[in-house]
A and B are shown apart, each in its own frame.
Chain A
């Protein structure tokens, strides 16, 4: 028997309904997947447009919500940065569905390895137990682990557009539309809610301090460009006709996607390509670092206080990006409450795609859309067109009427007192020396979404059940 064509479509349908497929089909699927993955390099080349996703952790219903918000496969190209399994209750269904989609649409979906795609970690954090519970044996777990060993370690996205074509989605109710920059501006960042409504839009400044715009985006003390206070920023930015830096389709560097981060053993992407990846994730070495390390507000490299693992600072990222002609590193691995968090003058971003993590954190999730160079920023019509706010490439200025090309608009982390701006100028002048300014980042559209309504099976009760604890 073989799992191909219509069998595969049947398996996809069954998994979409959150029902596991029979063991022999899993074996067949994993075999097919391995054949496919073995052909992939350690760093998979991916063309924009693509939607980049972070940790899933077995939250199947939220993965379905992700597809609803981001568009279905194969209409949307996806890149998942690992940690498909563990913690959540449906690791099996989540991973097998992604794997089925990979086998069915190999060019439409890219899966790279997270630190949880490992035998050792899955035995402790749930996936092993789940397989045992659902199949009565560890066979399925074993098949999946063999696939883990073949997953790529990273992906390199090329051809991403520098600017977004603004969506013509409505402005979300809670937002004052006058604060949204005009759609004619050079849009660098846009945040949409799950209904495709614009929450937030940031135009690249184009005056003489042109790249200062992206620098204000990285107040190291703050996190994502979504500061805590949606205060007005005052008359920041310049006048209405500010797009003077030529075409909005500037060439941007490539985007490296990796689960954890960088390694002191790796100074070029080619060095990642040389690793022997087809093994269990080792406890040390470059492969381990790529899946485990974290960025931190430090200079250079540091050691985690835990006694294993590296931390890396802004200078490391900027140097690596410069050397490898990257405009951005996208990584996952760390829970971020707002779903995404840009750091180090937007040279690295953490994307987190498991909303209400572990069914109790109450965090939101995000996915990152990169548009296609020279196109309309990858606005692929959604399969569920009536829900998605975008569609079409029209640039009707929508609610942007009063905006007139301001820089920061909503939730800016630059306060009206301008102190943060000074701070960032100072910072950038230090970092800019000798390395040149960071490349213009790609236009980034974040879609933020919440946890899907869960069915009640296995979910913690909303109200705790009284118990006679002692």
Chain B
């Protein structure tokens, strides 16, 4: 089995087709495959109306389904990208854009058309593709962190990349998914992380918590955002390795305040 140019389908990339585990009616599955080839990328470009990120794991997914009710929630790259602004209204500019534009205008007034404007930072507020029956309802019940901090055995774990873009060497944008399944519950974290050097940080987390015995599903969306300069100044006062932290959303969270939070719940019976 091979593709037209001779690349075998299974490459050296860490990949697997589908893996899954079933717990009390909940089936949790992931799929990890290499980045899309040119053909599927062209198709996706047409369907989306914007150029997909440089590294697009269009076949990958993480999915939780509840067989007794038919309910599901799934995370995939296409649906996430479909929520990226395609108009260019919320378009960011790289840090040296002003300087660049000024010089350009002097020399090339006639070149002023911005090609296919869209939010090239691929910022998405994607909270998953889910069934509306039953649908999530607003709630005050937080995800029970104490239960998740217990070292219960992890029976299923995966780490699935959905897309990544280097923003033409101006930073990074990535959407990735982690999932861990313990005997009584699971936690899934889909994180959008974006650093535009000299401009902005964004961390947008969607957490899905499932308590198997009660059929309780809690979804928490937390968006964080801060200007690059503000974060850099805060970090400069610490003894941390500034560059290393700027690459790692975990320690970085502390320096990037929450701008939006949504808490929802659904009970499956």
Contacts and interface: CB of A to CB of B under 8 A. Distances in A.
Nearest to A363: B35
A221 B1 CA distance: 25
Interface SS of A by simple majority: loop
A310 B42 contact: no
Interface in A384-416: 410-411
Nearest to A333: B168
A221 B37 CA distance: 14
Given A227-B4, A306-B97, A464 B54 contact: no
Interface residues of B, number: 67
Contacts of B157: 464-467
Contacts of A410: 4
Contact of B180 (A221, A309, A468): A468
Size bracket, chain A contacts? 35 or more
B7 A360 contact: no
Interface string A124-138: 110001000000000
Interface in B99-149: 99-101, 103-104, 107-108, 111-118, 120, 145, 148-149
Interface string B43-74: 00000000000110000000000000000000
B99 A283 contact: yes
Nearest to B1: A174
Interface string B1-13: 1111111100111
Interface string A368-398: 0000000000000000000000000000000
Nearest to A172: B6
Given A228-B39, A303-B113, A469-B178, A265 B107 contact: yes
Interface string A209-225: 00000000000011110
Given A307-B94, A311-B115, A361 B34 contact: yes
A66 B265 CA distance: 53
Nearest to B168: A306
Contact of B99 (A123, A197, A284, A463): A284
Interface in A182-205: 191, 193, 197, 199-200
A219 to B, nearest CB: 10
B186 to A, nearest CB: 12
A468 B149 contact: yes
A308 to B, nearest CB: 4
14 contacts: A116-B169, A123-B243, A174-B2, A200-B6, A226-B5, A284-B99, A284-B104, A292-B168, A305-B116, A307-B94, A308-B93, A341-B38, A464-B157, A469-B189
- Interchain residue pairs A-B with the least CB separation, the first 10: A362-B34, A228-B39, A411-B4, A307-B97, A307-B93, A362-B13, A223-B38, A466-B157, A302-B115, A199-B6
